[in-house]
Amino acid sequence: MNAKDNSQLKTLVKVLRYISGYRIWFVLTILMAVVIVALTLCVPILVGEAIDNIIAPGNVAFDTISKLLLTVGISVGVTSLAQWLMNMINNKIACEVVRDMREDAFSRVQKLPFDYLDTHPAGETVSRIITDTDVLSEGLLLGFTQLFTGVLTIIGTLIFMLMINGWITLVVVVMTPLSLIAASFIAKRTYNMFRRQSETRGEQTALINEAVSGQRVLQAFGQEDEITAEFDEINSRLENCSLKASFFSSLTNPVTRFVNALVYAAVALTGALAAVSGAITIGGLSCFLSYANQYTKPFNEISGVIAELQNAIACAGRVLELIEAESETADKDTAVSVVPDGDIEFRNAEFSYKKERPLIENCCFTVKPGQRAAIVGKTGCGKTTLINLLMRFYDVQGGSISMGGSDIRDITRDALRTHIGMVLQETWLRSGTVRENIAMAKPDASDEEVIAAAKAAYAHGFISRLPKGYDTVIDSSDLSEGQKQLLCIARLMLAPPPVLILDEATSSIDTRTEMRVQAAFAKLMEGRTSFIVAHRLSTIQNADLILVMDNGNIAEQGTHEELLRKGGIYAGLYKAMTN
């Protein structure tokens, strides 16, 4: 078995594990398939008997034929009911399996390490959860509906044909492999094509997501033609992949139909000769031809299902890759859920996003309880990375970070992040009411507490002007960047934790409001350990400790006056901004 076949088999086994959770429904659908096939196979026998009761003109057993036709009608009615029930059950299984996979995929996204999210476009991940699972659902539905009934029909008709005439059955059996060989040859060549189609579709979704979210910037810089050209290139590749996959998969049905037509012709010729010699009755020949047609028909259906299953398995593989992606490092079994108060210390901390490009090296500093620590430096020097390490969005690769003398890796992430509050330059609001967005910090907060937090963040004014005030349902396009940032600040004001992180928290706010918010921050930071990341040095001159970063290292540290006296990097930055 080659690597591709092995990969497909592993994917199929994993999908079957999801299906095993619905084994009762699975058994029911098989029972319905058995009923459908059994009744369908009985009809040709009944029709054959009816034909044999038409002996000659004026010699027709109408009573017997009437009973046989009534039985045929009942069989067809029960078959239709069983078919409807089977379709309903199959829909239920397919929809619930896909629901479970989507839940697992979305749950995995919440646990993925940040290096995965940083290296995989958001749109591509969305495509796996939404589009690929939709394709999988369609493939499962076809598989359940046609695969079982097809296989049972083939087995059942073969048995019935052997009961009627073994020699004619031998003709059918000998010619059957031609259809199987044709279907197998085509199916083996479709999997990789469907896989490329699915991957290219994910790439296209990522680009569309990027273009829609950044449309203002694209238009501002006149990049419409460039992004359109990039989209057209991906779209052309998707068209090419889709055409190849569709072409090869569409060959299956006509090829197998051609082979099956040859089988039917051979059966008709052999059966006619047998009927002439008296080896089979005319009714028996009619019955046999009906079975031969029913025997070959499932090969057409199954070959079509195989093509769809190739696509479904390719998409399932992408979804399972996401579900099985390595989670962030689990908390230690001995990790505590209480964060000790005390110094925050970086001791010889080291970290790099890529091994070949070191970023944070031998980072050492201590922040005392209640102190305000400001982090400054050029873009890309590692300021935000330092905050990411403190929040354990990433873990240090060397050295340690401690709180109150305890390594933060010995503290559960939930406890650590509850202990620290953040307001970032990049705002994030969920679709919901203003009240819900502020109350994320404290879900059980009263209306008075929410309003008080909004007033403290100077957001109450614009909230009051919204159509329904705090009950206004918003999305990211309803508010300006400054208003969004004020809501994020209000979220922090509602339940301020012992440690605060302000990463360019007022970058999108107008100067007058910023001065008020900075005053509110100053009051909020009293008695709390605070980290302030800022580009404007005027906002951090009163910090107890200023950390000057350069190429991932703490190049200087001290108070504003101390650093100015040193005449180093900070002094140079300060002079450049004041001149």
Q: Tens of pLDDT along the chain (579 residues)?
A: 455 556 777 888 888 888 888 888 888 888 888 888 888 877 777 777 777 666 555 556 677 778 878 888 888 888 889 888 988 888 888 888 888 888 988 888 888 887 777 777 777 788 888 888 888 887 777 776 677 777 788 888 778 777 777 777 777 777 766 766 766 676 666 767 777 887 788 788 878 877 776 766 676 667 778 888 888 888 888 888 888 877 777 776 677 777 777 777 777 777 777 777 777 776 677 777 777 777 777 766 666 677 677 778 888 888 888 888 887 777 888 888 888 888 899 999 888 888 778 788 888 889 998 888 888 887 777 788 888 888 888 888 889 999 888 899 998 888 888 888 888 777 777 778 888 888 887 888 888 998 998 888 888 888 888 888 888 888 656 677 778 888 888 888 888 888 888 887 666 677 777 777 777 777 778 888 888 887 666 667 788 888 888 877 888 888 888 888 888 888 887 777 665
Distances (CA, A) of 204 to 86, 123, 394: 36, 8, 29
Q: How far apart are CA 195 and CA 70, in angstroms?
A: 50
Structure-block tokens of residue 9: 């088999």
Q: How far apart are CA 77 and CA 325, in angstroms?
A: 49
Burial class (CB in 10 A: 0-12, 13-18, 19+), 528: middle
> Hey, what's the torsion of the CAs at 174, 176, 178, 181, to 10 degrees?
-120
- Nearest alpha-carbon partner for 470 in 441, 449, 489: 449
Coil/strand/helix, residue 349: strand
- 350 bridge partner residues: 398
Ordered structural domains, the chain, with CATH:
95-323 (1.20.1560.10), 344-578 (3.40.50.300)
Q: What are phi and psi of 112, to 5 degrees?
A: -70, 145
Contact 468, 354 (CB under 8 A): no
Q: Quick one: pLDDT at residue 81?
A: 92
Structure-block tokens of residue 457: 């963040």
Distances (CA, A) of 333 to 9, 113, 218, 219: 36, 19, 48, 51
> Hey, what's the torsion of the CAs at 79, 80, 85, 86, to 10 degrees?
70
Burial class (CB in 10 A: 0-12, 13-18, 19+), 74: exposed
Kindly state the helix (H) or strand (E) to which residue 550 belongs, with its residue range.
Answer: strand 545-550
Contact 504, 466 (CB under 8 A): no
Distances (CA, A) of 535 to 187, 327, 500, 573: 59, 34, 18, 10
Count CB neighbours of 275 within 10 A. Answer: 16
Q: How far apart are CA 284 and CA 492, in angstroms?
A: 84
Structure-block tokens of residue 297: 């028909």
The sheet with strand 406-407 has its strands ordered as 360-367, 344-351, 398-403, 406-407
Coil/strand/helix, residue 39: helix
Q: What is the 3-state secondary structure (H, E, C) of 431-450?
A: CEEHHHHHHHHCCCCCHHHH
Q: What are phi and psi of 281, to 5 degrees?
A: -80, 165
Burial class (CB in 10 A: 0-12, 13-18, 19+), 543: buried
Chain-centroid distance, C-alpha 330: 22
Burial class (CB in 10 A: 0-12, 13-18, 19+), 59: exposed
- Nearest alpha-carbon partner for 558 in 526, 576, 567: 567
Count CB neighbours of 81 within 10 A. Answer: 13
